[in-house]
Amino acid sequence: MYVTISTDHGSASETGGMQIADTPLEDNLNTPTTRLRAGSYLYFEGDPVERLYEVASGVVRLTRLLEDGRRQVIAFGYPGDIIGFPAGDCHHTDCDAISDAKLHAYRRSALDTGNGDPALHAKLLQAALKEISAMQDHFMMLGRKSAAERVASFLSVLMDRNADHVGAYRQITLPMSRADIADFLGLTIETVSRCFTALRKSGIIALDGSQTVILLDDAALRAQSQGQMKEAA
CA separation for the pair 59, 15 (Å, rounded): 21
Which of 34, 155, 150 is closest to 97 using CA atoms?
34
165 and 108 in a common domain: no
Identify whether the C-beta of residue 176 lies closer than 8 Å to the C-beta of residue 134.
Answer: no
Among 141, 175, 210, identify where a domain stops: 141
**Owning domain of residue 68:** 12-141
- Dist CA 31 CA 93 (whole Å): 26
From the CA atom positions of the chain, what is the Rg in Å?
Answer: 19
3-state class of 104 per DSSP?
Answer: strand
Q: pLDDT exceeding 70 applies to what percent of the chain?
A: 84
C-alpha closest to that of 5 among 50, 55, 47: 55
Q: Where are the beta strands (DSSP E) in the chain?
A: 12-15, 18-21, 33-36, 40-43, 51-57, 60-65, 71-77, 82-83, 94-97, 101-107, 164-166, 169-173, 205-208, 212-215
Count: domains in the chain: 2
* Mean pLDDT across 178-195: 97
Residues 110 and 20 in one domain: yes
Instruction: Summarize the chain as % helix, strand, coil (round to 5).
Output: 35, 30, 40
**Domain closes at, from 114, 141, 168:** 141
Mean pLDDT of 77-90: 92
Same domain, 135 and 180: no
Does the residue 6 lie in any domain? no
In a shared domain, residues 106 and 163: no
> What pLDDT sits at residue 109?
85
Answer whether 0.85 is exceeded by the pTM.
no
Residues 80 and 190 in one domain: no
> Does 64 share its domain with 82?
yes
Is 87 in the same domain as 187?
no
Give pLDDT, residue 111.
85
The enclosing domain of 198 has a CATH number of 1.10.10.10
How far apart (Å, rounded) are the C-alpha atoms in residues 139 and 137? 5
Which residues, in sequence order, are CB contacts of 175 under 8 Å at separation 6+? 58, 59, 98, 99, 211
Residue 14 has pLDDT above 90, yes or no: no
| Closest by CA position to 204, among listed 177, 179, 170 | 170
Task: Report how far residue 61's alpha carbon sits from residue 192's, in angstroms, rounded to the nearest whole number.
Answer: 18
**Can you give the pLDDT at residue 201?**
97
Task: Please tell me the predicted confidence (pLDDT) of residue 22.
Answer: 39
Instruction: Specify the CATH number for the domain of residue 44.
Output: 2.60.120.10
Are 221 and 117 part of one and the same domain?
A: no
